[in-house]
Structures are given as structure tokens and as C-alpha cells.
Structure 1
Amino acid sequence: MRAAPLTVTALAAALLLTACDSSSDDKDSGGPTQSSTSACEIGDMGVQVGPANTAPAAGDTGNIPVTLTNNGSKCTLEGFPAIDLNAADMSTTVPQDKGAKSQKLTLAKDATVTFTITYVRGEAGGKASLDVKTLNVGLPGGSTDNNSKWSYGPVQTQNGSQGDVNASVSAFSQAGD
């Protein structure tokens, strides 16, 4: 009489192990149990630049928060924002903040993230300054940019190179709840 319950228990355990192996294979092969979210696109985002803590004079540091609101379907941000500063005759890319670490964020519709551009104000008309006119914001894995007017004064350059600005961009940070 005891052999029957033991046999049933062993059979049930074997079936459970087989079922676990099957679902594991689906996950590894990209089967139906694996969910994927596409990279966020800037065209699906509401972009708000500022209000800023503008650097008041040459040599001062300013901070410009940028808020992105997902107006599209669920998407993922992984990495850093791509920021370009554009003057009349050239464009330069703002480097990532060396101390910042990116994280993978999944954004539902209407979710919000922020990042900050930190810059040192340059001297108006100075050789070590870039007279920025516009700001381009791009997303990792995205194919388009968002253009915004730059009204925060010239940006100081490093080592006398117009393409090497004294600025950085932080990683994305989840905003709100």
C-alpha cells in the first residue's frame, strides 16, 4: 500500500522537473515566455529643458535638467543621453560624467526620467569659449534627435580646443513614484 503513494510522488516530481526544463529552454531561445521591450525613441518623448541653474558669469558652473516623458508604448533606456552642443560653425558632443553609472530603465507610458547637463560658462567672444546656439538630445539606440534652443551663454572649452567643452551629462534617473 505504501509503494503506490511513493511511486505517485516520484512520478509527479519527474513531471515537474521536465516542465521546468521545457520553460527554461523557451527563455534561453527567446521563446514565448521571454518578454522584450524596444529602445525608447526621442520622437515618442516629451522633452522639457530647464528650468536651469544658469551659470551667471564666465568660470561659473551651471546645471540644466532635462526631463523626458514617455508618450509612446513601454520602452527601455540603457546608457547615457547623447548630447551635442551646436554653435554657428561647429558641433561638439558632451562627454558622460565620469563618476556617473548608467542603469537600465523600463518606462511605461507617461513615465518620466531626468538627466542633467553640467557646464562651465565661457567668456563671451573668448577664444576658449563655444558660442552655443542649440542643444541636440538623443537617446541610446535611437535614430533621431530633439533640438532645443540654448539660452545659457557660451560654454568654456578645455585645452583651447573648440571641440572639447568643459561640460558633462549625467545618467538617466527615474523621476516620480
Structure 2
Amino acid sequence: MRALPIAVTVLAAALSLTSCGGGSGSTGTSGKSGDASGSAKKAGAAACAIGDTGIQVGPANAATAAGDTGNVPVTLTNKGARCTLKGFPGLTVAAGGTSAAIPADKSAAPEALTLAKGDTASFTITYVRGAEGDAKTLAAKTLKIALPGAATTQSFPWSYGPVAGKGSASEPNASVTPFQPAGD
């Protein structure tokens, strides 16, 4: 009979501990993002404008030899009013007069991400390095970034080597992920 009261006490203590936290094991980020998304839907946050964001490209895990795969992370910081990112960034790599759009990662499903002032988001460019001088390779020197629903771009140097094509230099063997929450 004495085991039953001890078991009840242990069970009550376990239940009270699980109700203290968010249950996810993460720091406050999940709650902040969830609250921001809910508030944005009610407030109708506008799409983020590239002029209201700070953008950092890299540091990258660059492909070092032809045929290798590299990853280039890009982080955006909202410097304006609350706004929403939905979908994929518009990306173009260019060399001289030739440019090629980097397609979205078809296996990824984008979700709306609402950013308050100071919040950050990121996406990753994955590419295959091409062989120098190959007709199917784009010797990229510039990366142009546009946010969803906008034609305005910002340009950044591309220093990660030539990008292999999937048949021609105008079809880069590359992809971009949707926007993800970043930071604390």
C-alpha cells in the first residue's frame, strides 16, 4: 500500500515539471516565431522589401574542385517594420553579359515567415562547381538577390568559383532553399 502514495507523488511531480516549460527543449525562439506569425496574420504584415534588410552572404562551404558541391548561406536581417517572407528568394548568378537563374529546391515546401524589426532569416544556395573554361560552366562573378514579389535586386560578389551547368551554362546545377528562421 505504501508504494501507491509514492507513485502518485512521483507522477504529480513529473506532470508539474512538464507544464513549466514549452516542452520543446528550445530557448524562447519557437514561441517568439509563433507569436510573430500569429500577430502578422492579424495585422496583415506587408512583404519584406530588400531595401529594408541587411544581407550577409557567406561564409561559405565552397566547392574546391570541379564536380564538388558547395553551400553558401545567406542571412537577412529586417531593419524596417514587421514584414513577411513567403516562398523562395529570386537568385541570379552572372558573368559579364551572361546570367542564369538559380531554381528553387523542389523538395522544399516554403512557409510564411514573419520578421519583426531586428529578426533574421536565412536561406542556402547549393551549387556544383564547374570546370574552368568549360562551355557548360558559368564563370559567375556576381550574385543578384531579390525578395519574393519584388523586382528590385541587390548584387554581391560571387567568389565561390564557376557554377556547373545542367546541359548549358544558362541552366546552373544549383538550387536555393526557402527562407528559414535564423538567430536567437
TM-score range, shorter chain: 0.7 to 0.9
The answer to whether the aligner puts 1:137 opposite 2:145 as a matched pair is yes
Moved over 4 A (4+): none
SS where residue 170 of structure 2 aligns? strand
Partner of residue 70, structure 2: 62
Partner of residue 124, structure 1: 132
Answer whether contact 1:41 1:143 (CA < 8 A) is retained. Answer: no
Partners of 2:61 and 2:94 in 1: how far apart? 20
Of structures 1 and 2, the larger Rg is shown by 1
Question: What TM-score results when the alignment is normalised by the length of structure 1?
Answer: 0.79
Shift of 1:84: 0.5
* Residue ranges of structure 1 left out of the alignment (5+ in a row): 1-33
Answer whether contact 1:119 1:166 (CA < 8 A) is retained. Answer: yes
Partners of 2:94 and 2:115 in 1: how far apart? 29
Matches within 5 A, 1:27-46: 35-46=43-54
Partner of residue 167, structure 1: 174
Shift of 1:142: 2.2
Partners of 1:151 and 1:176 in 2: how far apart? 25
Answer whether contact 1:40 1:142 (CA < 8 A) is retained. Answer: no
Partners of 1:172 and 1:56 in 2: how far apart? 26
Identity, % of aligned pairs? Answer: 54
* Residue ranges of structure 2 left out of the alignment (5+ in a row): 1-41
Partner of residue 101, structure 2: 93
Matches within 5 A, 1:7-22: none
Answer whether contact 1:48 1:66 (CA < 8 A) is retained. Answer: yes
Q: How many residues align?
A: 143
Question: What TM-score results when the alignment is normalised by the length of structure 2?
Answer: 0.76
Answer whether contact 1:60 1:120 (CA < 8 A) is retained. Answer: yes
CA RMSD of superposed structures (Å): 0.9
